[in-house]
Each structure stands twice: as C-alpha cells, then as structure tokens.
Amino acid sequence: MYKILKKEQLSSVVWLMVVEAPLVARHCQPGQFIIVKSGEEGERIPLTICDYDREAGTVTIVFQPLGVSTLKFLRLEEGDCFDDFVGPLGRPSDIVEMSHAELCSKKFLFVAGGVGTAPVYPQVKWLREHGYEADVIIGARTKDLLFFEDEMRAVATNLYITTDDGSYVHKGVVTSVIDELVASGREYNHCVAIGPMIMMKFVCLTTKKYEIPTIVSMNPIMVDGTGMCGACRLSVGDEIKFACVDGPEFDGFKINWSEAMKRMQLYKTEEGRAKLRYEEGETHSGNCGN
C-alpha cells in the first residue's frame, strides 16, 4: 500500500498528490512514468512523474480527473493509500543521458500545455540542479487552468506564460510565443514539448520551420504501460514503436500525428459510457450510445 501524504488542488481541474513510495523515488528519473491503481479491481493509470524526493521517499503525481478511475482518485484523502504504485517505467528524458559537453552546447526551450506542465517541471528542475539553463513556455486556455507558475519560475531561466483567451499575461497559443521569441532573436537548438496531442503537433510544425529539433511525450496514448496491450503503438519514421516501453519521449518530427491522434479516439465511447455509469449510479439506464 502506498500512502498519500499530500493532496492539493492546483487549478480548477488539476490535482496533485504526494505519495510515499521509497523504492520508486530511489530510482526514478525525469521523463519516466508510474502506474497507479486504486482498489483491487481498479484500472491501471499511467501518470508521468512530476517530482520526486529520494531522501523523503516520495513521488509527486499530477492528474486531471476525466475518466472513472481518475474521478475515483478524488475520493482519496491524505492518509489513504493506493493499492499499486509501480515504477519507474519508460525511458528517462534524453537530457539525463547527455554528456556535459552536449548539455553545454544546448539552448533549451520547453513548451508545456495544460497538464503537460507537470512532466516538464522535473526536466527543467534537473537541468537547473546540474547547472544548465532552459527557457519555458506554459500555455493554458484560461488563467484558472494554469498551475506551477511559481515552481517553474524558480527553475527556468526565462518563463513565458500565455493564455488562449488573454486572461493572464500573453494572449495566444504557445506557438505564437515561439514565433515571437525567434523573431526577437532568441536561438534554440533543442525543444521539448509536452501537452495535448494537438498542441504537440503544432509545436512541431512551428519548430520545424526554424529547424529546432523537438522531443514530444506520447504519454496521452498509453493505456497498460507495459507494451502488452498495444494501445500505444505508433509510427516513428519508418519504425513501429510503443510509447510505454520505447518512450514515452520521441522525435516529434518523425511522429505520424494523424495516426497517433486517431489512436487516441479508440476508447472514447467505452470511457464515456463508463463515466456515465459511475456518475449516474443506479439511475443509469445503460442505453446511452447503443
């Protein structure tokens, strides 16, 4: 059992939990993920690691309650436990494997959209702790959906915030900020974009114009997290990869985005029906969508 030491609402739709998991904390690296399960028959949920404290033996996760399983997470309070908390899984971020000379040659730009802010944070924090600089763009639809502004400002060299509706700081999408930074003379040669699939796709289209190599996280299409279900299969260049065991991070210029975005739709009908059953309980007729 893995005790929840802290539960905090970060925005109107995003929650944070700090979980006691010493073995996971001892080995995890930025870019990796864990599998969380609540209840003996609960669904396995892959969540990218947001932060970790090796000395305290804790791992921080951030999630947005959308399906039944993550909605059930909201029932858990500090002192309650997850039945399973497995990890670290997946490959660490490529920055962890770079040499000092290579890291010094990089001019990093991180682009975070929505809940993608959570997995961007440990990478930028790792760079700061090792003496390297990185600029960060955080984007959200509106101010109420932003989180981790102070935490990111503490580790980023420069932090740029944008909201689609202009309710806070800059008005526009993250790609407009990239355009403005490049137009102002800023130079980057390594970009990491993590967030909604459509955002990552358009970041890649933008950075490709400027010949900025871009890494993306394909966590959004993961289901089982072990490579056994095949749900996260995707085309990367002329190769077939699995996001959970070969990633979750890949060269964004090589992703077949049309295929990946179609794969995200595979379980939406089933997820929707399950959510209705959960929310409506005994009043649910079971005929919706049939």
Percent of the chain clearing pLDDT 90 (strictly above): 62
127 and 197 belong to one structural domain: yes
73 and 169 belong to one structural domain: no
74 and 115 belong to one structural domain: no
Nearest to residue 161, comparing CAs of 180, 136, 183?
A: 136
124 and 212 belong to one structural domain: yes
Residues 183, 185, 191: CA angle, nearest 5 degrees? 85
**Each residue of 91-140: pLDDT tens digit?**
999 999 999 999 999 999 999 998 899 999 999 999 999 999 999 999 99
Measured in whole angstroms, how far is the alpha carbon of residue 232 from the centre of its chain?
A: 15
Measured in whole angstroms, how far is the alpha carbon of residue 211 from the centre of its chain?
A: 24
Of the residues 162, 183, 217, which one is the last residue of a structural domain?
217
117 and 202 belong to one structural domain: yes
Query: Is residue 222 a contact partner of residue 32, using CB atoms and an 8 Å limit?
Result: no
77 and 7 belong to one structural domain: yes
The conformation of residue 91, written as its DSSP 8-state character, comes to P
The rounded distance, in Å, linking the Cα atoms of 148 and 256 is 31
Instruction: Report pLDDT for 286.
Output: 52
Measured in whole angstroms, how far is the alpha carbon of residue 134 from the centre of its chain?
A: 18
Nearest to residue 86, comparing CAs of 32, 31, 152?
A: 32
CB neighbour list of residue 4: distance below 8 Å, 6 or more residues apart: 17, 18, 19, 20, 76, 77, 78, 79, 80, 81, 82
Of the residues 159, 191, 217, which one is the last residue of a structural domain?
217
**Each residue of 48-87: pLDDT tens digit?**
899 999 999 999 999 888 777 788 888 889 999 988 898 8
pTM: 0.85
Cis peptide before 88 (omega within 30 of 0): yes
149 and 129 belong to one structural domain: yes
198 and 108 belong to one structural domain: yes
What range defines the domain where residue 33 resides? 2-89
Instruction: Report pLDDT for 37.
Output: 82
**Each residue of 218-266: pLDDT tens digit?**
888 877 777 777 778 888 998 998 888 888 899 999 999 888 888 777 6
Number of domains making up the chain: 3
178 and 273 belong to one structural domain: no
Of the residues 217, 235, 250, which one is the last residue of a structural domain?
217
Could you tell me the CATH number of the domain that includes residue 162? 3.40.50.80
174 and 257 belong to one structural domain: no
CB neighbour list of residue 212: distance below 8 Å, 6 or more residues apart: 109, 188, 189, 190, 191
Could you tell me the CATH number of the domain that includes residue 52? 2.40.30.10
69 and 148 belong to one structural domain: no
Write phi, then psi, for 119 (nearest 5 degrees): -75, -15
Query: Is residue 36 a contact partner of residue 45, using CB atoms and an 8 Å limit?
Result: yes
116 and 200 belong to one structural domain: yes
Helices (H), ranges, 9-144: 22-27, 68-73, 94-97, 100-105, 117-129
